[in-house]
Structure 1
Amino acid sequence: MLLGAALGYAGIAHLTFARTEFYAQVPPWLPLDADFVVLASGVMEIALGAALIVLHRWRVPLGWITAAFFVLVFPGNISQFLTHTDAFGLDSDRDRAVRLLFQPVLVVWALWSTGAWAAWRRSKEDSHARA
């Protein structure tokens, strides 16, 4: 529920009050309009957040999808670091580097909080037991 709420909040921020800040995370090499990327990722975050809150029986696949989303947006965080772009109060390379360390935490949070990791481990154990 908390992850869903956090994603919903981030998505709303993409579409409203922090929209221009998110441009810092759109890699310059990406052949898409920066505004489109910010809006699309915001819509995706809102959809994922709502799904995590409402669609309980789909938690495990939603956990994998959310983890994949966090992996897919990671190049934007790397780009912000490499281009030395200030945004969200990250005004030094050290601050931007520390932020990079938190992306794997988001991936783990998505897999752990939805039970996706536990379901994967159970399926591995079941397949070993049958072998």
Structure 2
Amino acid sequence: MSPSKARTVLRWLLALAYGYAGWAHLARPSPFLAIIPPGAPNPGLVVAATGLAEIAGAIGLMIPATRKAAGWGLALYALCVWPANFHHALANVVIGGETLSWWYHGPRLAAQPLIIWWALWASGAVEWPFRQKA
């Protein structure tokens, strides 16, 4: 598969993932509220705003004129929510009566830089590591 086709496929997958996650933040906020670190102001507003940001980013990825800005926005978003992922892992947050093991948290935390890169590359904001040599 060419890098161009791979970028298109990965952009669609990312848009679908962020669109679904945004919907989930708005439709079923309780799991997301549970992982917000203590001391964060107005957790309900934070969860709603992050859901809207995910939906906006997903839509932005599909519009050529806004694609790169959406990629930068989703990359920044993924960086900003990383503390909630750490809190979820380190505080053994109970969601739905269960805690997730390090079999989930370890790969999830390690994948965050990949998710950040994915948003940037799929949007065309960066070429690395597939830059064509002149």
TM-score range, shorter chain: 0.7 to 0.9
The SS at the match of 1:117 is: coil
TM-score (norm 1): 0.78
Amino acid at match of 1:52: L
**Superimposed CA distance per residue, residues 87-109 of structure 1 (whole angstroms, 9 cap, x where no aligned partner):** 48752244222211121121111
Residue number in structure 2 paired with 1:79: 87
Q: Give the Cα–Cα distance (whole angstroms) in 2 for the partners of residues 50 and 112 of structure 1.
A: 16
Mapping 1:83-102, distance limit 5 Å: 83-87=91-95, 91-102=100-111
Task: Give the unaligned 5+ runs of structure 2.
Answer: 1-11
Residue number in structure 1 paired with 2:126: 117
Change (3 A) 1:3 1:94: closer
- Give aligned-pair identity as a percent: 35
Residue number in structure 2 paired with 1:14: 25
> Is 1:62 the counterpart of 2:70 in the alignment?
yes
* Structure number with higher helix proportion: 1
> Is 1:29 the counterpart of 2:39 in the alignment?
yes
> Is 1:3 the counterpart of 2:14 in the alignment?
yes
Say what the alpha-carbon RMSD is for the aligned residues.
Answer: 2.3
Query: Aligned pair count?
Result: 119
Q: Which runs of 4+ in 1 moved over 3 A?
A: 86-90
Task: Give the unaligned 5+ runs of structure 1.
Answer: 126-131
Change (3 A) 1:86 1:104: farther
The SS at the match of 2:65 is: helix
